[in-house]
Every structure is written in structure tokens, then in C-alpha cells.
Structure 1
Amino acid sequence: MTGFRDLRHNHDFTVLWVGQTVSELGTRVSMFVFPLVTYAVTGSALLAGIAGGLELLGTAIALLPGGLLADRVHRRRVMRGAAGLGVLLYASLVVAGVLGALTVPHLFVVGVLTGMCAGVFAPAEMSAVRAVVPREQLPTALSQQQARQHVAGLVGGPLGGALYSVTRWFPFLFDALTFAVSWVMLGRIRTDLAPAARPDDADDADAVRRRARDDVAEGFRFQWSRPFFRTMMAWGMCSNLVINALFTAATVRLIQAGFAPWSIGLVETAAGVCGVLGALAAPRIIQRTPTGVLTVVVAWSFVPLLVPLVFWNNPAVVMLSLSTGVFLNPAGNAGIGSYKMSITPPEIVGRVQATGQFLSWSTMPLAPVLGGALLAVLGGPAAMAALVVLCALVALIPTLSRTVRSVPRPSEWAQATTDEAPAVELAVA
């Protein structure tokens, strides 16, 4: 907790974090309510399911352009522009709700566009964190962001349900207000968030001739040319696929067995609580453990915990296994994420963050398909056994990489950054 106390003295990070904590809570409320409103309007489970995924679709679409903007436009303007557009979009749903004119096309358009706002906002926010937080406090800063996400996920559903019970459009009013709070808080940031100057930006004519496609490709080239970043890209894509398939398969298997919905819901609640606790413990874990070792441990953490699911299909067993596995995730995400930020040149940090997140998310839509297919083809126990094997194979990706294993503690990152060129080019062992 010492790291969290230290960051309280960082005015700009506190302002950024508070604003986005409020905004993220509003977003989770809306994501929970979109399917409910759509089903109430149409009676279609299919359309309700589509509504639930539109925000994520919009985010994925906008991530790469968002990374480009974060490295080319003043970050505060980008973030305030996205927050201001969020206010207008959700206000439009409030007006439609008050007038009794809420329609599915309107809901779908707002879902996609607010997701695009999030996709534009995220790389600019990460670039801003890099600018306002000293290198040694990056792990704590990203741990706080992990805590924010888990708290919003834990509270967003119940709060959304309570607001929805008042009237259909009330959750959208709440989200519009949270975007407004974010817009106001962003205006209080004192640090200059202008993008770092590039050597080729000195000549305006050359800068004008640079094409956006080449700028976006630079983020990919930077990561692909370095074994460390290549390994993390591959691991992120495979890990998101398998872990999300695991959660899907475990949940569907409980539904097939006829367990009460409230008992199945406790699995997600327990995972959220463990995620919050893990985020609180993350700074201490990160500071005391070499980041490479921590990454490998996190990669393997789910493997032994999944073994009981092969033999028992019970909410209590699933809750214990999955929530325990979630506990280390915030430390792993914050540790390796802050190291990646610390060794990325400031002038391309937005694009590198955006491309990494885009690739990691690219496999997530396939996760429910994989989990459901394994259950349908193999049955419950065999599907869980297959997922255990897949988790072990995915864990080998960072384990076999010398560039990952050799990442030191945060206190030694400065030296690692000085030696970055030879260190990053080490081959996979």
C-alpha cells in the first residue's frame, strides 16, 4: 500500500485516475444495461446479445487510429474530445428515453460510437500516464488502473440494475454525468501532454508527407523487430483466447448442470473481489519480484488451479479455482505493462500500446466459440482437461523466452533501459 500512498502526491495522476474511475464505472453500468434495454424494446435475445458486444467492437475498431492520435495530437485534447462526445451520445439516449422514442438502431449506434471513444481514449491515457508518472512509480500507477477496472466490473452490474429499475434511460443519464466528470477532471491536468517531438517532425513538409498508414505500421514494426515484444504479443493473444474460453466453458457447464443462477453469479463476484485484492497487493508483489519471474508465474498460475475442474463441476469449486487464478493477474499485467512502457520511446508509446492491445483483444471473440465447441465435442471433464493442456502450452511462451525471464525488478529497470538494444535483441532460448 506504500506505493498507493506515494501516488497521492502526484496531482495529475490523481486527477486522471479519479476522472477515469468515475467514467469507467458509468461505462460498465451502460454495458450491463444495453442488452436489457434492447431486449425490453425488441423481445429478441439475439439483438440483446449483439447490443452487449457493440462497445467492445467499437473499441477494437478505434484502437489503432487512437494510437496514432496519441502520438500526433495533444493527449489532453484527445481525451477531453472523447469524453465530451461520450456526454453527447449518452445524453441523446436520455432525451430519446424521456420522449419514449428509444430505438434499437439508436442504441446500436451509440454503443459502437462510445466504444470508439474508448478506443481513442485508451492510448492517449496510457501516454499521459507515462508523462505524469515517474518511471519508478509506473507499476503502482498501472496497479491502480487494474483496481479501477475490477471495482467497476464488480459494482457496475448491480448499480446498473438498480438504476434500470427506476426507468430505462436512467443508467444512460448516469453515464453521461460520469463522462462529464471525466471531462472536467481532465481539464485540471497541469503537465504538458503534447506528444514528444520526432526528428522528422522538425521539417513541416516532411511531417505533412508522412502517411497515417506508415505511422500505424511503425508501432507494429517496433514490436515485431524485438523478441521481447514479439513474445508478449503472442502470449497476450493466446492467453486471452484460452483464459476467456475457460471462463465460458466453466460457466456453461454449470448452467448445463442446472445450478441456480445466483450461485453461478457468485463465480463472477468472487473473481471481481479477488481482482480488487490482487490489485491492492500488486505494487508490493511487483517491487519484490523480478518482473520476468512474475510474468512466468502468472502464466502458469491457472494450470494447477484448473485440475479440480476436470473432476468436479460445482459452483464452489469453480469459484475457488478461477478467483484464485485471477488474484495474480493485476500484478502480472501492471508489472510487465509498466516495463513495456518504460522501454518504449516516448514518441511512439501511444501506437505501441494500441497495437499491443488490439492484437491481444483480437482473439477474444473466438473464446466463447472455443469454450463452447470443446464442451459440445468432448463433454465437460474432457473439455476442462483440454483447457488445462492449452493453458500449459500457452504458459510455455513466456517461459521459454530468455528476454522475458531476464526482466529485472523495477528498481533495476533504468539500467535495463540503458542496455535495451542488446538486451531486447536476445533470442528465445
Structure 2
Amino acid sequence: MPGFRSLARNHDFTILWVGETVSTLGSRMSLFAFPLVGYAISGSAMVAALAEAAHLAGMSLALLPAGVAVDRHDRRRLMTLVSGSGALLYLSLAVAGVLGSLSVAHLVVVSLLTGVGAGIFRPAQTSAIRSVVPTDDLPTALAQNQAREHVAGLVGAPLGGLLYAVTRWLPFAVDAFTYAISCLTLSRLRTPLGPARRRQPGRSVRHDLLEGLRFVVARPFFRVLLTWAALANLVVNALFFAALLRMVEAGHHPAEIGLAETGAALGGLVGAAVAPALIARLATGRLTVLIAWAQALPVLPLIWWGGPLAVGGCLFAMMLLNPAGNAGIGAYRMAVTPADLQGRVSAASTFVAMSVMSLSPLAGGYLLAHWGGQAAIGTLAAAFLGLALMVTLSRSIRSVPRPTEWATVTEVELAA
């Protein structure tokens, strides 16, 4: 395909993609190992959960100020700083493991700080991609990033488990190495990744932060998109959690449950492969509406069937079109956002999308415990249908054209 061929000739995107693919795989291994190591040290499920939750908390707290930093400073330096600090932090865990002095406090602090680093890296990387990739190639570039995430999700946990079985600190040692690779690849980028414009004297961090938020809040397109993304993240993760607990309560073997979860990664991986073709052929707004319904309808059979095969099939179907949606609407968002607001808009979008995700396990667990499996899944299915209807009724979403017509979208149309 032309998009893939063009990106293959794009030196900076290739370097960036390869380095972050390796680093993402390492991070997935570490995130898998955090709760296992926490439980092995403490014998407490709560401590195991805390070790993983600290990473998400650090990322959420860092996102908004990181957006300001990304728009003010050189993006490559920020990403290199994050990767270098990540290598040192994970190396410290490996060294502590070798010395037999690994503690819960050390684990949680590293989890928190690497989460902060992830919160800085994400908007910096988004802005960097916008700088090194032409607008016409953005959908394909983001589809390849989606493939990277799903490959890491498919391989990272089993590989992390294998390394953990050798010795509990080994996943952290390997992750430190992947962060070092990220530093090396970032040093080979040719495109200048400095701020889009010089910082204006007298402008405070608060002013810049509010400017990014105002850009998002003032536009119906962004308001609907981010409301849908936040609520969809809440519902889909509550569904995952409820379906998982339902299988546990039914006595299914852990290996069967793991295979069911693999359905999501496989669906996302297949979807990432076909995403560029879908994005090119369909109007982005109509594709987004289609994806909203494609996420909602596969949930309905789970009301009556909750076994691993049914859950795996549902997750596969739900994730099949998800990469096209993330890549298409994400590329459009980048295309219509001014260069000097890329970091802040990316950070604000990610922050809002993740803002209620921490409530997902509580929501799924509460519904399952108090209403039972059928009612819990039925309630979440109804929520999915409502979210799909919200996107369908939004003119600001439906009217987004194909990528070849994005350049014709005016500020008035975006704000309408």
C-alpha cells in the first residue's frame, strides 16, 4: 500500500517506531511483573494491586503538565530523558533483586516514577509523529502504532511470565535494556523536534495549560469525542473485569481465561493490519460511528454465554475495528490541531479518556456481586448501545470526511 511504502522510506518514523516497539514490549513485561513481584514480596493482594496502580496514577498526574512541557521544550530531549531515567529505574530494581534487597516501597516508587515518565512520553511522541510524518500518512502511521501496542499486549505478558519464572527481577533487567535501546534510536532522529514556536515572555504554565484545555472544550467535535472515549473506556474495562470474574466464579481453568483475553490482542492485531485500507475508503466520521456499534453489538451474546470461548470471541470482535477508529480519528485530531498545541491537546485528550478508567473494576465488581452475571453484562451492554447512539447522533463526528479532504475542514466547521 502507498502509505506503508511511504512510511518505510521515512527514516525518522522508522527509527522512532522500531525503538518504541522494543520499549513498549519491555514495558508490558514490567507491568505484568509488578503485581507478581509485589505479591511475592508481601503475600498481599492489595500490595500487588498497589504496585500496578501506582504506574497508572503517575501517568494520569503527569499528563496535563507534560502537555505544556512538550509544547515548550524540545520533544526529543524530553523523550530521551524519560527513556534514560526509565533505564536507570528498572536497572535499580534488577540490582536490588540480585542483592536480595528488593522491597515493596522500592517497587511502588519505581512504578510511580515510570508512570510519570509514560505520562510525559506519550504527548511528546504524538507531537514527534506529527512533525516527522506528512498529514496524508498519519492514519497509516497511527495504525502501525496500534499494531505495536497489540503485539506488545499479545507477547509481553507471556514473555514477562517466562522471564519471571527464571528469576523475579529478570523482566526489569530486560526492560532497562529496552529503554536504553529507545535512547539510542532517539539519538538518530534527523528531524528537529523543538517547540513549534518560541515561548512568549510572561506566559505562565497555568496560561498554557488552560489554552490547551480551552481549545478542546470549545469545540463540539472534541467534546463529544472525549466524552465518548472516557465513558467507553469505563464501560469496556468494567466489562473485561466482570467477564473475567464471571469465568473465575464459574471455575474455568486460568489457562482458558488467559486464552479468552488473547482474543482482544488478536482482534486488535488483525484490525491494525486492515486499518489503513478502511480509513482510506470510508469517511472518518462514518467509520467512527460504525466502530461504536461494532463495539456494542458483540457484547449482547455475553448476557447469556459467559464461557472462555464466548468471551474470547466477543473481545476479538470488539477489538477488530478499534485500531481503525483510534488511528483514523486520532490522525484527524492531530491534523486539525495547530502545531503549537499538539502536546497539550494530546495530553488533555489522553487525560480525559483515562480519567474514569480507575472506576472500571469497582463498577464491574459491584454489578457482578449485587446483580449477578446476566444483569451485570446486560447493564454494560445497554451502556455500550447508549454510547453508540450518542456518537451516531453527533453531527460534529458524523461530518468528518475522508483523509484526502481533511485539509478542507475549516475552523468554523470544526467548531460547529
Q: TM-score, normalised by structure 1?
A: 0.95
Which residue number corresponds to residue 424 of structure 1?
414
Q: Give 2:393's match in structure 1, choosing from 400, 408, 425.
A: 400
- Which position in structure 2 is the counterpart of 1:376? 369
Q: Deviations over 1:139-159 (max 9, x none)?
A: 000001111111111111111
Partner Cα distance (1:244, 1:12) in 2: 34
Aligned 8 A contact 1:83 1:179 in 2: yes
* Counterpart position of 2:304: 311
* Equivalent position of 2:18 in the other structure: 18
SS at match of 1:209: coil
Q: Which structure 2 residues correspond to residues 407-418 of structure 1 after superposition, within 5 A? A: 407-416=400-409
Q: Which secondary structure does the structure 1 equivalent of 2:195 belong to?
A: coil
Counterpart-to-counterpart distance in 2, 1:111 and 1:257: 33
Q: Deviations over 1:52-80 (max 9, x none)?
A: 22211111111112111110000110000
The counterpart of 1:288, out of the listed 241, 259, 281, is 281
1:362 aligned onto 2:355: yes
**1:248-283 deviation digits (Å, cap 9, x = unpaired):** 111111111111111111111121111111111110
Q: Distance in 2 between matches of 1:121 and 1:318?
A: 33
CA separation in 2, counterparts of 1:214 and 1:97? Answer: 44
Equivalent residue for 2:215?
A: 222
TM-fit CA distance, 1:354: 0.1
Instruction: Give 1:356's aligned amino acid.
Output: S
C-alpha deviation, 1:35, in angstroms: 1.1
Alpha-carbon distance in 1 for matches of 2:309, 2:170 = 35
Select which of 196, 205, 222 maps to 1:212. Answer: 205
For 1:58-73, what aligned pairs fall within 5 Å after superposition? 58-73=58-73
Count of equivalent residues: 416
Residue aligning to 1:117: 117
Partner of 1:180: 180
1:71 aligned counterpart, secondary structure: helix
Instruction: Name the amino acid aligned to 1:392.
Output: L
| Distance in structure 2 (CA, Å) of the matches to 1:424 and 1:389 | 30
**Contact 1:267-1:323 at 8 Å conserved across structures:** no
Please say which of residues 297-306 and 125-134 is displaced more in the overlay: 297-306
- Structure 1 stretch displaced more, 311-320 or 356-365: 311-320
For 1:128, the equivalent position in structure 2 comes to 128
- TM value normalised by structure 2: 0.98
Structure-to-structure mapping, 1:184-263, within 5 angstroms: 184-197=184-197, 201=199, 207-263=200-256
Q: Runs in 1 of length 4+ with deviation above 2 angstroms?
A: 1-6
1:204 corresponds in structure 2 to none
In the TM superposition, residue 323 of structure 1 has moved relative to its aligned partner by 1.2
Q: 1:397 Cα deviation (Å)?
A: 2.1
Deviates more, 1:48-57 or 1:110-119: 48-57
SS state at 2:72 partner: coil
Within the candidate set 295, 303, 307, 1:302 is matched to 295
Q: Which amino acid aligns with 1:423?
A: E
Q: Which residue does the alignment assign to 2:323?
A: 330
Deviation track 1:350-372 (CA, whole Å, cap 9, x = no partner) reads: 00000010010011001111111
2:96 maps to which residue? Answer: 96
Gaps of 5+ in 1: 202-206
Cα deviation digits, residues 70-110 of structure 1 (max 9, x gap): 10000110000100101111111122112111111011100
Q: In the alignment, what sits opposite 2:343?
A: 350
The RMSD of aligned alpha carbons is: 1.1
State how far apart, in whole Å, the 2-side matches of 1:314 and 1:42 are: 32
Structure 2, unpaired ranges of 5+: none
DSSP 3-state at the match of 1:189:
coil
TM superposition shift of 1:302: 2.3
Give the deviation of 1:2 after TM superposition. 4.5
Report the Cα distance in structure 1 between the residues aligned to 2:411 and 2:158, rounded to whole angstroms.
49
**CA–CA distance in structure 2, aligned partners of residues 219 and 398 of structure 1:** 23
Letter in structure 2 aligned against 1:421: E
Is residue 290–residue 407 contact of structure 1 (8 Å, CA) maintained in 2? yes
Task: Write out per-residue CA displacement over residues 295-325 of structure 1, whole angstroms, 9 at most, x where no aligned residue.
Answer: 0011111222111111122211111112111
Match of 1:142 in 2: 142
Matches within 5 A, 1:154-165: 154-165=154-165
Please give the alpha-carbon distance, in whole angstroms, between the structure 1 residues aligned to 2:92 and 2:119.
20
Q: Identity over aligned residues, as a percent? A: 53
Instruction: State the AA in 1 paired with 2:41.
Output: V
Q: How far apart, CA to CA, are the structure 1 residues paired with 2:307 and 2:167?
A: 36
Determine the C-alpha separation between the residues in 1 that align with 2:168 and 2:361: 29
- Measured in 2, the distance between the counterparts of 1:93 and 1:287 equals 45
